[in-house]
């Protein structure tokens, strides 16, 4: 028998209310998943057939976790038996929106003129179809980014506020409509659909064939939707269609954690639920099981500044806890260095594992200085929700160039950059050169210099090989020029010059159809160049390059260690929802970053504040927030101002790090510190 005594009063109320519309407002860390799974188990225990229960969430991972928990709560022998002894006991349907629609369409899609064995196109296949369409409608020399068109089509299909904003321009709207018709025809000819189609075709099925809708309603009499604040217009319509008759809808969510407006989520679906279900019962979950009251009070104080929200006040029985550390730094390098030092200090003195610590930031570009400092300190980390700075194409290309100049016999590096940007050394040419090097038991660069090898190529290719050899040798000669060694920014200037001369900056711009992506790549590389010189003024450039690479390149042992479980988490604020860490560092709280510069133009300041709220509520025990007075952009330090959100934090909850550092060290505290550090290194 299910024991509901383990739930708090509000959780129990949510679990026991199984008929009619219910809105469970689940604040951060209030046991949302526990309530959902207990509610499903309770419904089965009360005699509701499991196959009449539908729970919808956004990720396969969340669906699997939910199903596992439900199976643990409902023993097999307690599940209703089927008439067929060979048939498995019925169980609730727990799935994502898309997998639910696939189930429905597999049964009924023939009514829409498709075959049941339809295929689902992935992004690469979608882009291929778009490229063919654009090739036929674009003027000569005109280039349209297929990814941008695909994004427009997605907005078009999913509707809602984003679509209205995107298609105000009649030219954009006309292009999208034209491409959409041809795109749909192309997919249908292949008996294919894309992910957006799964929901749209299901809605079309329900509209054109009410019998299919009636069948689904008869099957799914009790519907639950997790993370309801993240639903878009199409998903809302789907839920509404399924529940309009029986009205046994339970939605779970938190408007304060609605942070995906940029991808179509509409928080109004949750805020305005009473418009569609006037009789809805609202249950607030406000007892937090994750954080200290200091952290929760700070989060409450920030989020209350959003005017349109459902009021809630998070609290905890975990005690008041430590004050929030607020730190101001001169620049991002100082910020990153202090965070890395603090991470290691906590590990050494307080036995806090790396895995209990997380660093949160607004954009992926902010990870660069942090990754560099963590690497220098030998601290393991893993990056979630983005690509590691050191795995970015432009960074790997540049480092391959540097390695080639230092050692042209490094075949791996040379093969990577030989034709980047294009200089007449095609893949076929490089394959032949690699084969020649293997035959002669020498490096590719040595093989290139053999006149008999060159003679095997046509004139244009032979000239390209010779030009590349000359380029490498000339660059290596410049590195040996002692007159350049005295300049404090010699490496940066040298790198800027050769990247410009090779046309690499232009290559980055050409290779990215999205201009913003191109500029981000250029910025990330220029930010790296700005760190090259360090304090090694006077040393030969080649030696300084060696030191630069040594600081950046992890050896094989470090790479193996990186896979170990104990590692600091680096994560964007958008990716951290649903996660928690005992110790959290929120960096870059500056105007233009958080809130983002675009928020004032786009009217998304409330969502930026919600993003800060989500970041704060990831912390369980200790929270540090930092900002910088200057941050590099394209190698130039740009002045920064503290985020306006910092003013919303109650002063009594904040401890300025500088003030804390001024507190005298007592003999007792010094003794304790020494003992902790001594124990840590044993």
**Residue 97: both structure tokens together:** 């929106």
Rounded to whole angstroms, how far apart are CA atoms 317 and 462? 75
Whether 382 and 569 have beta carbons less than 8 Å apart is answered as yes
Per-residue HEC secondary structure of 83-131 comes to: CCCCCCCCCCEEEEHHHHHHHHHHHHHHHHCCCCCCEECCHHHHHHHHH
Residue 663 CB coordination number (10 Å) = 8
Catalytic residue among 33, 96, 363, 493: 33
122 as an active site residue: the answer is no
- Give the Å distances, CA to CA, from 95 to 49, 55, 235: 17, 7, 14
Q: Is residue 259 helix, strand or coil? A: coil
Q: Which residues have C-beta within 8 Å of that of residue 500, sequence separation ≥ 6? A: none
Rounded to whole angstroms, how far apart are CA atoms 251 and 22? 6
Q: Which residues have C-beta within 8 Å of that of residue 543, sequence separation ≥ 6? A: 536
Catalytic residue among 32, 34, 290, 346: 32
Using alpha carbons, select from 309, 287, 313 the residue that is nearest to residue 298.
Answer: 313
Whether 202 and 105 have beta carbons less than 8 Å apart is answered as yes
Rounded to whole angstroms, how far apart are CA atoms 298 and 645? 11
535 as an active site residue: the answer is no
Residue 599 CB coordination number (10 Å) = 17
H or E stretch covering 205: helix 195-208
Number of H helices, E strands in the chain: 31, 19
Q: Is residue 22 helix, strand or coil? A: strand
Residue found by looking up tokens 């200290």 in the block: 292
Query: Could you tell me whether strands 630-633 and 636-639 are parallel, antiparallel, or unpaired per DSSP bridges?
Result: antiparallel
32 as an active site residue: the answer is yes
Catalytic residue among 10, 196, 197, 226: 226
226 as an active site residue: the answer is yes
Using alpha carbons, select from 544, 516, 524 the residue that is nearest to residue 532.
Answer: 544
Rounded to whole angstroms, how far apart are CA atoms 529 and 491? 8
Q: Is residue 269 helix, strand or coil? A: helix
HSE-CB for 454 with a 13 A CA cutoff: 16
Residue found by looking up tokens 């499991």 in the block: 50
Q: Is residue 627 helix, strand or coil? A: strand
Whether 56 and 100 have beta carbons less than 8 Å apart is answered as yes
Catalytic residue among 37, 57, 243, 257: 257
Catalytic residue among 227, 371, 527, 607: 227
Cβ-in-10-Å burial (0-12, 13-18, 19+) of 359 comes to buried
Rounded to whole angstroms, how far apart are CA atoms 545 and 405? 10
Active site members: 32-33, 226-227, 257, 618
């Amino acid at each position: 028998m299910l024991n509901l005594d383990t739930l708090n009063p509000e959780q129990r109320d949510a679990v026991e209310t199984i008929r009619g519309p219910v809105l469970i407002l689940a604040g951060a860390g209030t046991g949302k998943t526990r309530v959902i799974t207990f509610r499903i188990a309770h419904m089965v225990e009360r005699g509701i057939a499991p196959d009449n229960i539908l729970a919808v969430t956004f990720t396969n991972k969340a669906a699997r976790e939910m199903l596992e928990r439900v199976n643990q709560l409902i023993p097999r022998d307690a599940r209703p038996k089927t008439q067929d002894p060979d048939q498995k006991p019925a169980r609730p349907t727990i799935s994502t929106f898309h997998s639910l629609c696939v189930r429905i369409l597999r049964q009924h899609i023939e009514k829409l003129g498709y075959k049941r064995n339809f295929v689902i196109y992935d992004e690469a296949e979608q882009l291929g179809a778009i490229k063919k369409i654009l090739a036929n409608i674009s003027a000569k020399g005109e280039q349209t980014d297929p990814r941008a068109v695909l994004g427009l089509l997605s907005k078009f299909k999913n509707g809602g506020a984003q679509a209205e904003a995107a298609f105000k321009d009649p030219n954009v709207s006309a292009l999208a409509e034209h491409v959409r018709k041809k795109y749909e025809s192309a997919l249908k000819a292949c008996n294919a659909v894309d992910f957006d189609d799964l929901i749209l075709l299901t809605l079309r099925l329900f509209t054109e064939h009410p019998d299919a809708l009636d069948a689904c309603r008869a099957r799914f009499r009790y519907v639950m939707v997790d993370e309801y604040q993240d639903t878009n217009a199409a998903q809302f319509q789907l839920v509404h269609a399924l529940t309009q008759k029986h009205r046994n809808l339970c939605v779970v969510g938190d408007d304060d954690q609605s942070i995906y407006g940029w991808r179509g989520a509409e928080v109004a679906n949750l805020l305005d639920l009473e418009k569609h279900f006037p009789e809805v019962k609202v249950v607030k979950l406000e007892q937090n099981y994750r954080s200290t009251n200091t952290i929760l009070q700070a989060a409450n104080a920030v989020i209350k500044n959003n005017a349109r929200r459902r009021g809630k006040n998070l609290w905890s029985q975990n005690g008041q806890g430590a004050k929030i550390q607020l730190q101001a730094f001169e620049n991002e390098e100082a910020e990153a260095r202090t965070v890395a030092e603090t991470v290691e200090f906590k590990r050494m003195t307080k036995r806090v594992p790396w895995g209990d610590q997380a660093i949160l930031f607004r954009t992926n570009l902010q990870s660069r200085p942090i990754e560099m400092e963590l690497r220098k300190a030998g601290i393991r980390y893993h990056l979630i929700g983005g690509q590691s700075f050191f795995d970015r194409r432009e960074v790997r290309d540049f480092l391959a160039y540097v390695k080639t100049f230092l050692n042209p016999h490094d075949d791996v590096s040379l093969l990577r950059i030989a034709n980047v940007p294009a200089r007449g050394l095609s893949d076929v040419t490089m394959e032949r050169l690699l084969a020649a090097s293997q035959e002669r038991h020498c490096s590719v660069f040595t093989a290139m210099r053999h006149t008999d090898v060159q003679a095997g190529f046509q004139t244009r290719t032979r000239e390209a090989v010779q030009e590349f050899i000359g380029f490498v040798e000339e660059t290596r000669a410049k590195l040996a020029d002692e007159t350049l060694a005295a300049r404090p920014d010699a490496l940066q200037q040298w790198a800027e010059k050769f990247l410009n001369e090779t046309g690499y900056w232009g290559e980055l711009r050409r290779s990215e159809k999205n201009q913003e992506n191109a500029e981000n790549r250029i910025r990330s590389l220029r930010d790296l160049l700005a760190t090259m010189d360090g304090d090694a003024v006077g040393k030969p450039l080649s030696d300084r390059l060696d030191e630069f690479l040594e600081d950046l390149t992890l050896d094989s042992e470090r790479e193996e260690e990186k896979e170990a479980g104990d590692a600091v988490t680096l994560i964007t604020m958008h990716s951290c929802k649903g996660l928690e860490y005992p110790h959290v560092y929120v960096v870059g709280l500056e105007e233009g970053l958080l809130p983002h510069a675009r928020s004032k133009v786009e009217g998304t300041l409330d969502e930026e504040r919600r993003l800060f709220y989500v970041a704060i509520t990831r912390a369980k025990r200790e929270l540090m927030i930092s900002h910088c007075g200057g941050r590099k952009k394209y190698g130039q330090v740009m002045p920064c101002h503290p985020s306006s959100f910092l003013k919303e934090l109650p002063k009594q909850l904040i401890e300025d790090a500088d003030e804390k550092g001024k507190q005298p060290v007592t003999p007792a505290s010094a003794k304790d510190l020494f003992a902790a550090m001594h124990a840590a290194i044993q």
